[in-house]
Structure 1
Amino acid sequence: MSFLEILAQPSTWQLVSILCLGIFVQAAAGFAGGLVIVPLLLWAGYSIPEAQTSLLVATIPQNLWGVISFRDSLDKKRLVGPGAARLLFLPAGVLTLQWMESFSMVTLRQVVGAAVLMATLTTMLFRPRPRDQVDPIWGFLVFPLSGFLQGLVGMGGPPMVLWVQAHDWDTRRMRGFLFSMYLISLAPGIAVLIWFFGARVIPPALIAAAAIPVLLLVTWVGLQVGTALGAQRLRRVTMALLLLMGVAGLAAPWLSPA
């Protein structure tokens, strides 16, 4: 099947629509792009590796823009250890995902639903007090966990967000650090997924790449909506959506067609 024939399929436009929704949420609320995209793509019939690869490609422009925009707030030496820890544990997550592919789609939806629910509840309930220094032990836990979760279900952001919020950094430094962590792992993440899962992850990646102009427009719209509605209101709506998706994933045996 040619790439043009792939673009003409309804499933392609379903993939692009889900990517647009996730990127919009990410731009408007400042988080949760992966938490939206991966479970919805599973419900649309895509595998976790396909969902992850399309997500990584779709977020390249946004993360690149973020690093460039906040480069004056970056402490490059502070990026080396966390970035290396994420990359080191990313293949372990992908290897575990390869083993999980023997599970049924219903079970995988439950696993992803549980991950979304846990990340959402942790984000809602755990509010660290910002401080000048955070015990180094948390870094040794957070970034390997983030890399592992990134490789496993494409959701490595929540542990890093909580770690960043525990610092008394300004918004520019926080966002610059997070954008840098995401950007560092994009190319290795895509390469590892292709290495483990082969050619089947390439079509979703190409579709995501072809949709980048649309995703850039969606990013701009999301930023405007986020500014207009305010962070707190968007946070409540986003959390409600994520809770619904997490519960739906856990209820997959009853919601999935027989």
Structure 2
Amino acid sequence: MIETYMQSISPAVQALIAGVFTWGLTAVGASLVLFVRNVNKKLLDVALGFAAGVMIAASFWSLLEPAIEMSQNLNIPSWIPPATGFLIGALFLRLIDVILPHLHLQAPINEAEGIKTSFRRTTLLVLAVTLHNIPEGLAIGVSFGAHGADPQAVSILSSLMLAFGIGIQNIPEGFAISMPLRSEGLSRKKSFFIGQLSGLVEPVFALIGVLMLEIMHNLLPYALGFAAGAMIFVTVEELIPESQRNGNSDVATAGLIIGFTLMMILDVAFK
């Protein structure tokens, strides 16, 4: 039923709906701060590891694999478009990482990255999660845009499963941002509001991604590779180190394996 409805609307509206869905699940995760008193660092590290596993699996099965398939019919080696897009996507996120002031979730204030500012710690924490959500939104938009341009290479179910997988990992992500905000002294309601607000960037960039792809139709495999590179950069730069910071490496790694496996199953089973 959902598949039939999504097929009947434009890729831009599809991407926007999917982005709002993932934002909504960020809000679900952030709402846990209204009921939980203290953050369990071991649980937080498992959640971050889970999110990393989902991101890695989605980068290949939802983005790079279809990019490689699309490149088979081009008059160049099939690895060039996805590899080029991947490198550019990682470089793009690196430039944002250097410029945007932000602070990783469990880091001390003296480890803030980006341009030096007088922003408060809470502002820097939210900017870090916003940075993380940019490639997720782009990935959703690019996937639905690719389906609209080439339904044989990217099915609507594959795009839906990508959005579902990102949405599922946004639940622990929302929790992971709202609870540290609470520990910084913010009220429960304010921690929830800021935590869910961090996910607003996803529908925005989902729409940007699909609209850019409609303009640059011939760059489909490059765009898919770009989204994958951006997602992998954030995963390796942010999620994995944060999940290992508190010495809970075993459970954090288990969370990553579970997240990777779940996303792989979703992508392969519903391709």
Fold equivalence (TM over 0.5) = no
- TM-score normalised by the chain length of structure 1: 0.44
Q: Could you tell me the TM-score, scaled by structure 2's length?
A: 0.42
User: Using CA pairs below 8 Å that are at least 6 residues apart, which structure has the higher relative contact order?
Assistant: 2
